[in-house]
């Protein structure tokens, strides 16, 4: 998923720890103004747990959700696309899903969380992990991949229980519209439920307002529908 390098990021944004995959995991936790609400995971891009991902978590918290963004890289943040690609390749899909399942455990254990299931919102690499996680984790009831590509073999979607709302760019060379259509058909055929995949007049990473690819109108439309989707399914 080539992209021009962005400005150097600060170290990974962490403010919480939790048990996951037999170890202590780190992440960023954001609470809503009321202090309580439905639980949502935010899954990082291939850059790491950056300021942008923490900002997304804060924005969702302002909408009334309890949000946890797990740090899948253990504190590392990429500073250019070559480093990000290497770090993403060094994270096996199975390990990422294991860490995210632990994050679901932790999120649902919090007394501030009012929902019995969680939503999962992810971007780029994290968008793919949203789908990998939802395929095996029935406690994910609302899955929102933003331009999420799947690496290697597709998961078995026959156990998918989540409703899926996906956001993709028509001009995304790494995940072209035909690939999005094929993925939607695979999910529909295996799970019996058609995902709502939406295309926008934008390229890859159009939601990230810290990248040259940011497309404000598409980002605003995708955000509005995502918040409404999460509220409808999580309460």
**Residues that are catalytic:** 124, 172, 204
- Contact between 66 and 38 (Cβ < 8 Å): yes
- Contact between 149 and 175 (Cβ < 8 Å): yes
Would you state the structure tokens that stand for residue 163, as one six-digit string?
């409703």
Nearest CA to 11 among 60, 83, 79, 86? 79
Q: Which helix (H) or strand (E) holds 218?
A: helix 216-234
* Count of C-beta atoms within a 10 Å radius of residue 205: 28
3-class secondary-structure state, position 233: helix
The residues near 151 (Cβ < 8 Å, ≥ 6 apart) are: 93, 128
Report how far residue 214's alpha carbon sits from residue 128's, in angstroms, rounded to the nearest whole number. 19
Q: Which residue has the tokens 């609400």?
A: 37
Q: Where does the chain show beta strands of DSSP type E? A: 16-20, 23-30, 37-43, 66-70, 113-123, 140-146, 163-169, 196-200
């Amino acid at each position: 998923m080539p992209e021009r390098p962005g400005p150097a990021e600060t170290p990974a944004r962490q403010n919480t720890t939790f048990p996951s995959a037999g170890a202590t995991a780190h992440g960023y936790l954001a609470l809503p103004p009321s202090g309580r609400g439905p639980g949502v995971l935010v899954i990082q891009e291939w850059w790491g747990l950056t300021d942008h991902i923490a900002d997304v978590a804060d924005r969702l918290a302002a909408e009334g959700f309890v949000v946890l963004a797990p740090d899948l890289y253990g504190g590392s943040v990429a500073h250019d696309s070559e480093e990000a690609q290497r770090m993403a390749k060094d994270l096996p899909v199975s390990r990422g899903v294991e860490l995210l399942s632990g994050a679901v455990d932790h999120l649902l254990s919090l007394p501030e969380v009012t929902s019995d299931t969680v939503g999962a919102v992810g971007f780029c690499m994290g968008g793919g992990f949203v789908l990998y996680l939802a395929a095996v984790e029935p406690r994910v009831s609302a899955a929102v991949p933003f331009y999420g590509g799947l690496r290697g073999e597709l998961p078995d979607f026959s156990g998918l229980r989540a409703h899926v709302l996906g956001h993709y760019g028509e001009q995304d060379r790494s995940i072209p519209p035909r690939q999005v259509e094929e993925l939607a058909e695979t999910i529909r055929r295996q799970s019996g439920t058609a995902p709502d995949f939406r295309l926008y007049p934008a390229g890859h990473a159009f939601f990230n307002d810290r990248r040259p690819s940011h497309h404000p109108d598409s980002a605003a439309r995708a955000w509005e529908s995502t918040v409404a989707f999460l509220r409808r399914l999580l309460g």
